[in-house]
Chain A
C-alpha cells in the first residue's frame, strides 16, 4: 500500500507486443518516468536473449497558462526472440528510484508459429515472373472472415457477429464508404462500437496475419429455423510499394507507394435457431438470457388518496429491449397510472445487459387492507436451458381512511352512490366438494317400456275399471229398490191399515197405534225414497213442502203422526181410534194423488 501511495509519481511499466512469431525478434521495453537505476530484469527463460538493454532518455517541458509541466522518460530496451509456440509470461522487473524499489507489471506474450510455406503449386506460380504487387493483393494476403460467437442458438438468444480483417504482406490504408452490410433479416440488430481499429497478430491457417475487427454487432434471432446471413462487402484502400516502377531516387523517395482499391467479400453464414421449447409458462415475458427481478414499495401503511409507488427492477443480460413490462394485478379500488419505464442498458459482447426499472404510481381510493399479489416474471434461462419464473414478494397494504374522505363523508353521507355489482370476468363454477352420496345401484331397471313400467299404468286402470263396474251396479240396484218401494208404498200402507183395522176390532189399542204410526212412516219413507231412520217429525214438514205438498195436507200429516204417537201412551176412546184410522187412510189417499 505504501508503495502505491509513493508510486503516484513513479510509473514503471513493461511493454511488449501481445503476439510475436517464432524466430522473429521483438522488443521488450521498460519505461520509467523518474531517474532510476539498478534495473533488474527477470530471467527470460522462454525467450532467447539477443541484445540489450539499451537505454534512452527523453524529457520535455511545457508551459500551459503559466503552469509548468515537465515529463521525463527513461527507457530500457531488450531485444528478444521466441523459440517455441505458446503463451508465456515475462515476470515483473524491479528498479530503484531514490533508493525505493519499484516493480513493473508482468507481460503476457502469445507466441505464434511461423508462416508455413505456401503449397508448392502456388509458390511455383508466384515464383514465376509475376510482378510482386499482383501477388500481394491475392485472396491469401487479404481477406475478411465472418465470425459468429455461436452457430446454434435459441430464439432471442444474443450472438455476436464480427467481421475481422486478415492481412499479411499488404498494407491497408483505409476503407472506403462502399461498405455493404447484409440486412440481417430475421434478427434484431444491436451494433457494438469498434472504436479505434487496432491490429493484432493472429496465426491462421498456417500463416501469421495482422488482424483488425472492422464491425461488430449483436444479433437477436426473431424466428426459428436456419437463418442465412448474406455476405458483406467491404472496399479497402491498399498501399502498394512500387518497387518495379522505380525510375529515380526521387520517385523512390516521394512516390514509392501507389494506392489501389480492392473489394473484399466477407462470406455469409447460416445460424441455426432453435425455437424455445414448449411449455412456456403463462405470462412469459419474452426474455431470453439471465435475469433477476426485485421490487420495492414506497409504503405499505398509508391513507386513502395518498399515492404509493411500486417499482420493479429487472436486472440481467439477454434481450433486455424486448422484455414485456410485467403486469401488476392491482386490487380493485386503486387508480393506477401508466408505468414509467426507464432503461439502463449496456451493450456487451454477450448481449445487452443492464437494468430496466418500471415504476407504477397508484392511488388507493378507499380504506381497507389490500394485497398486491406477487408479480411473476418468466424468462428462458439460456444457461440452465429451461424456463424460469421469478416472483416478487407479496405486499399487503393497510390503507386508513383519509381525513378528507371522512370529512366529506360526514357531509354527503346521505348521498352514498350505489354501485351495481361489477362483472370483472367470467369463469366456470367451482367443483362440488361435498362428500359422495351413498352408492346405491338401482336393483331393477325402472325405465320406459319395461314390464313394471306398463304395469304401473295397467294396474290402476284395471282397478279403476273394476271399481267403476261395482259402483255402477250398486247404484243401479239401489235405484231399483226405491222404485219398487215407491210403487208398492200404497200397497204396503193398505196392508198395514188392514192389520190396524183388525186390531181396532180386537180393541188392542197399543198394537193398533203402533201399526198406524208404522204405516204412516213407512209410506212416507217409501214415497219420498228416504230411509225411515232419516225421517222425523221435525224435518218431515220441510221435506214435504219442498216436494210441493199443500200446507193443509202437511198439517193433517203432522196431526196424524202426533196423534198416533201420543195415543200409544195415553188412554183414548174407541171413537178416537176410528178417527185416526180414517185420517190415516185419507192422507195416504191424498198423498197418493200428489206427485212426490
Chain B
C-alpha cells in the first residue's frame, strides 16, 4: 500500500509537470494511469481528496478539446468531492461549450433546486449530518420532557422538531445519492453526434439528435442498446456512444 502510494504520488507530480509544459495528451494518460492503479474507484471507498486526480484529468482532456471526456472527469470529481469549486467552475465552462442546450428543457425548477441541494454534499456527509441531527432531536426531546424551566422546554421542543425534520431530509438525500451511485444511470455522450432511435435497433426511426458532452439518464438497457432520457425526450441509442459517470 505504501509503495503504491509513492508510485501514485510521483506519477501525479510528473503528470502535473507534463500538463504545465503543454503535453496534455501525456498528462491525461498519466492521470488515467493513477486512476487505473487505485485499489477502487468506487465513490464510497475513495477519500474525497482524490477528486483532484479526476479534476486534473478533466483539465488535460479539455485542453485537448475532448469535451465529453473532460465533462465526464469533472462530473466524477464532483461525485467524490461535491465542494470542489474549481471542478464546478470548469464543468460549467465545459458545458457552455457543448452544442446541446438541455438545461432549458429540464423539468420543474423546484426539482432542480432539490437536486442541486442534494448534490452539494457527499453521501457520507449527508449521513453524518442526518445522524447528528437525529441525536440532537433526541436530546432536545429529553430537555423538553424533563426540564422544569419553561423557556428551556419551549426552545428544546422547537429545536428538536426542526432537527428531526432536517435529519429526515438529509437521510432522504443520502438515500437518493446512494441510489444514484449504485444505479449509475447518468451518462455523458462521448460520440460527436448521435441519433436517438425509436427502438433498440439500427432500423428504428430517428427521433432526435444529440451531441458530444450532453448528460443523459439511462433508463433501461437491452443488449447493446439503452433507452435514454434527455430533457423531455426519450430514445434508444447504442451503449458504446455514451459513458456512465
Contact = CB atoms under 8 A, between A and B. Distances in A.
Interface of A: 426-442, 445-449, 453, 456-457, 460-461, 464, 467-468, 471, 475
A381 to B, nearest CB: 23
B178 A449 contact: yes
Contacts of A426: 93
A447 B123 CA distance: 7
A82 B12 CA distance: 81
Contacts of A441: 39-40, 45-47
Q: Please indicate which of the listed interface residues A428, A429, A440, A467 has the most CB atoms of chain B within 10 Å of its own CB.
A: A428
B44 interface: yes
Contact of B5 (A431, A439, A449, A468): A439
Contacts of B141: 464
B40 A431 contact: no
Contact of B138 (A437, A439, A461, A471): A461
A456 B53 CA distance: 32
Contacts of B93: 426-428
28 contacts: A427-B93, A428-B62, A428-B89, A428-B90, A428-B93, A431-B55, A435-B13, A436-B52, A439-B1, A439-B8, A439-B38, A439-B39, A439-B47, A441-B45, A445-B44, A445-B45, A446-B124, A447-B181, A448-B123, A456-B131, A457-B131, A457-B134, A460-B134, A460-B135, A460-B138, A464-B138, A467-B142, A471-B146
Contacts of A432: 52, 55-56, 86
Given A447-B123, A457-B131, A436 B178 contact: no
Contacts of A440: 47
B142 to A, nearest CB: 7
A159 B236 CA distance: 52
Contacts of B135: 460
A429 B1 contact: no
A338 B134 CA distance: 70
Interface in B75-104: 86, 89-90, 93-94
Nearest to B74: A428
Contacts, number: 105
A432 B63 CA distance: 15
Contacts of A453: 127
A294 to B, nearest CB: 26
Interface residues of B, number: 50
Nearest to B58: A428
A427 B89 CA distance: 10
Contacts of B131: 456-457, 460
Contacts of B38: 439
Given A430-B59, A436-B53, A447 B44 contact: yes
Contacts of A471: 142, 145-146
A426 B46 CA distance: 32
A279 to B, nearest CB: 13
A431 B16 contact: yes
Interface in B3-54: 4-5, 8-9, 12-13, 16, 19-20, 38-40, 44-47, 49-50, 52-53
B27 to A, nearest CB: 8
A107 B134 CA distance: 111
B40 A448 contact: no
B156 to A, nearest CB: 14
B142 A436 contact: no
Contacts of B134: 457, 460-461
A448 B127 contact: yes
A434 B52 contact: yes
B94 A428 contact: yes
Contacts of B90: 428-429
B152 to A, nearest CB: 16
Contacts of A428: 59, 62-63, 89-90, 93-94
B127 A446 contact: yes
Contacts of B46: 441-442
Nearest to B1: A439
Contact of A448 (B12, B45, B55, B177): B177
Nearest to B176: A448
Contact of B19 (A431, A457, A464): A431
Interface string B111-149: 000000000000110010001001100100110011000
B19 to A, nearest CB: 6
Given A435-B9, A440-B47, A447-B178, 10 more contacts: A431-B55, A431-B60, A433-B20, A436-B52, A457-B131, A457-B134, A461-B138, A468-B142, A468-B145, A471-B145
A510 to B, nearest CB: 41
B175 A442 contact: no
B175 A448 contact: yes
A78 B11 CA distance: 87
B72 interface: no
B216 interface: no
B223 to A, nearest CB: 30
Which of B20, B40, B49, B175 has the most chain A CB atoms closer than 10 A to its own CB? B49
Interface in B137-181: 138, 141-142, 145-146, 171, 174-175, 177-179, 181
Nearest to A431: B56
A447 to B, nearest CB: 5
Given A429-B86, A460-B135, A436 B40 contact: no
A430 B90 CA distance: 9
Contacts of B60: 431
Contacts of A435: 9, 12-13
A439 B4 contact: yes
A442 B178 contact: no
Contact of A431 (B44, B59, B179): B59
A188 B177 CA distance: 63
B123 to A, nearest CB: 6
A448 B63 CA distance: 37
B67 to A, nearest CB: 11
A332 B146 CA distance: 71
A13 B243 CA distance: 84
Nearest to A475: B146
Contacts of A448: 123, 127, 171, 174-175, 177-179
A440 B60 CA distance: 25
Nearest to A464: B138
B127 A438 contact: no
A1 B49 CA distance: 85
A456 to B, nearest CB: 5
Nearest to A426: B93
Nearest to B17: A433
B62 to A, nearest CB: 5
Most central of A434, A437, A461 by chain B CB within 10 Å = A437
Given A431-B55, A448-B175, A436 B8 contact: yes
A438 B16 CA distance: 18
